[in-house]
Amino acid sequence: MRRILSACLLICAFSSAAIAAAKEDALQVVELWVKSFTAADVETIVGLYAPDAVFMGTGSKTIVTQPETIKKYFEATLLGNRKWVASLMDTSVLQLNDTTVVVTGLDKLVVTADGKSQDVFGRVTFVLSKRDSGWKIVHFHRSAMPG
């Protein structure tokens, strides 16, 4: 009986560690996304998405499912004459299983154009999946905060 109890405790300990690790790994991808957005590093941002990702940015008028269209979205947004600073103000992390994590948050984008800055608040959801190549964003949605 003692061996069974010890085995159960050991399994629980490893499971808890795996859950915490998956959440941390997924959050690191989101943090890299935020850092890369602020740095206008389009290549890094696009590399965080899975090839089969579904994308709906704030300015998206369609559901985007092609990596090259995601790249065009970020090129148009980040490589123009406006500068962006992104930050997550509040997040919730939900692990669905060992390979899927949902990160939902409230964000703040500071956009500067022609020497004037404006705060743009929004709601954002990242669904991340562990793939052979590591954790990838498989679904992204951002919408403006209602007024």
- Per-residue model confidence (pLDDT) at position 1: 61
Distances (CA, A) of 3 to 6, 10, 13, 37: 5, 10, 15, 51
Q: Which residues pair with 119 in a beta bridge?
A: 110
Q: Which residues pair with 77 in a beta bridge?
A: none
9-21: pLDDT as tens digits: 445 444 445 557 8
The enclosing domain of 92 has a CATH number of: 3.10.450.50
Strands 116-131 and 134-144: antiparallel
Can you tell me the mean pLDDT for 18-39?
91
Distances (CA, A) of 66 to 30, 71, 118: 20, 9, 30
Domain total in the chain = 1
Containing structural domain, residue 7? 2-144
Contact 50, 137 (CB under 8 A): yes
65-97: pLDDT as tens digits: 999 999 999 999 999 999 999 999 999 999 999
96-133: pLDDT as tens digits: 999 999 999 999 999 999 999 999 999 999 999 999 98
Going by pLDDT thresholds of 50, 70 and 90, the confidence category of residue 147 is confident
Whole-structure pTM value: 0.85
